[in-house]
Amino acid sequence: MADIEKNNPTTPEFVKRNGIIADNNYVQWLTELKQRYHNSQIKAAVRVNHSMLEFYWSLGRDIVALKAESKWGTGVLQQLSLDLQKMFPNETGFSYRNIRYMRQWYSFYFQKVTNWQQLSAKLGNLNWHELSAKLGELKRHQLSDEFEMPQKFAFVPWKHHVQIISKSQSIDEAIFYINQTIANNWSLNDLTYEMKENLYARQGGALTNFSDTLALPQQQLAQEIIKSPYHFGFLELKPNHAEQELEEALVKNITQFLLELGQGFAYVGRQMELRMPDGQSYFPDLIFYHTRLKCYVVVELKTVKFKPEYVGKLNFYVSAADELLKADDDKPTIGLLICREADKTTVEWAFRGLDRPIGVATYQIEQIVERTIKELEHRKIEKN
């Protein structure tokens, strides 16, 4: 009885661990086990997602290749949904709506791709020459049962694919969002937001001299990273706001500003004093470090239309950052001027003769009145 009471105490007590000395090596091993387990979970999830997407793709391909609706009537997808749900009662992916998305998913890429070699170059895993030899001179509509799901698609969740094909206007746009989702590990909310903000059209939209001032790999990445226009709809500013008001508002909302700048930007400072030997001081608006570009980015803000003299001052700040901030293994500093509007010819002429990488972008702000009207309309819809 005493033994029973000892093994099943009626009062709280600490239970000591027996025979273990948890040193740093043990903790490190435990940490590695945790990471390996998480990695195995991720791999398992990717394999499951891959298999499911391949089945969805094949089902969409069958519907197109068999011309199911012409062959069995317009109600065939609804009947197919009922039959599949009956056969697989525990699966949730066979709704009528989802099956239509499977058909749309396959058709979106198959019907819009007129050049398979172009798609191969974009996705990097289709061998056009082997495929051509295998299929010979078959007409495009005869290829519907041969168009396999690109491997890269397996790394994007199904709901993301639905969002992409529902909102994209072209193959290029769809592939852009697929690549961005994979590279940035976007959630569905992230993807939806970026598509709503039309990132595809804005990404790489800035006017730059990168082709003349940066090496090829850095040039391409820098061009892709800088947007235009930037959307500062999260700021509450008057239409005739001053530069200082814009700068203060962006710093106050630095988290949202960094999200709008894009992945990789790290905030360094604002109005960092640059003191010259003659006693004169200068104050660049904002300085960032970009982790992917591995360089500093000096940002100047202007609330008016672009003027050529703005580039000269920014060029001075970029040179200063290269001299005083840049480490030996850093890439050249980039200057970014964000202004209200910019004429392309004026900007291009202003770039001539410069050897520092500089980009010029514009920004947009949703005015307080416009935002208030939208909020009131949204609340009215919610009430109804």
On the question of pLDDT at 383 being above 90, the answer is: no
What integer is the mean pLDDT of 299-310? 94
**pLDDT for 333:** 96
**Are 212 and 128 in the same domain?**
no
On the question of pLDDT at 105 being above 60, the answer is: yes
**pLDDT for 201:** 84
**pLDDT for 122:** 57
Residue the block writes with tokens 């609340």:
379
**Are 347 and 221 in the same domain?**
yes
Q: Tens of pLDDT along 323-355?
A: 999 999 999 999 999 999 999 999 999 999 999
**pLDDT for 213:** 93
Does residue 187 belong to any structural domain of this protein? no
The residue type at 60: G
Does residue 273 belong to any structural domain of this protein? yes
Lowest mean pLDDT among 1-5, 236-240, 354-358: 1-5
Pick from 155, 175, 190: which residue ends a domain?
Answer: 155
What integer is the mean pLDDT of 100-125? 71
Cα–Cα distance for residue pair 188/147, rounded to 1 Å: 27
Question: Model pTM?
Answer: 0.61
On the question of pLDDT at 314 being above 80, the answer is: yes
Cα–Cα distance for residue pair 172/108, rounded to 1 Å: 12
**pLDDT for 375:** 52
Does residue 202 belong to any structural domain of this protein? no
What integer is the mean pLDDT of 203-217? 89
Does residue 17 belong to any structural domain of this protein? no
Indicate the pLDDT class of residue 70, thresholds 50, 70 and 90: confident
On the question of pLDDT at 210 being above 50, the answer is: yes
Q: The domain that contains 293 carries what CATH number?
A: 3.40.1350.10
**Are 121 and 227 in the same domain?**
no
What integer is the mean pLDDT of 68-80? 87
**Are 345 and 285 in the same domain?**
yes
**Are 121 and 229 in the same domain?**
no
| Pairing relationship of beta strands 334-339 and 295-301 according to DSSP bridges | parallel
Does residue 377 belong to any structural domain of this protein? no
Buried b (16+ CB within 10 A) or exposed e, 350-371: bbeebebbbbbbbbebeeeeee
Pick from 155, 171, 191: which residue ends a domain?
Answer: 155
Does residue 22 belong to any structural domain of this protein? no
Q: Tens of pLDDT along 232-260?
A: 888 888 888 889 999 999 999 998 899 88
Does residue 196 belong to any structural domain of this protein? no
On the question of pLDDT at 111 being above 50, the answer is: yes
Does residue 162 belong to any structural domain of this protein? no
Buried b (16+ CB within 10 A) or exposed e, 234-250: bbebeeeeeeeebbebb
Q: How many Å from the N-terminal Cα to the C-terminal Cα in the chain? A: 69
CA proximity to 256, closest of 240, 236, 226: 236
> What's the domain range around 244?
207-370
Contacts of residue 215, Cβ cutoff 8 Å, sequence gap at least 6: none
On the question of pLDDT at 288 being above 90, the answer is: yes
Cα–Cα distance for residue pair 218/124, rounded to 1 Å: 21
Overall domain count for the chain: 2
What integer is the mean pLDDT of 100-127? 69
Neighbouring CB atoms inside 10 A of 181's CB total: 22
Pick from 155, 182, 197: which residue ends a domain?
Answer: 155
Mean pLDDT of the chain: 81
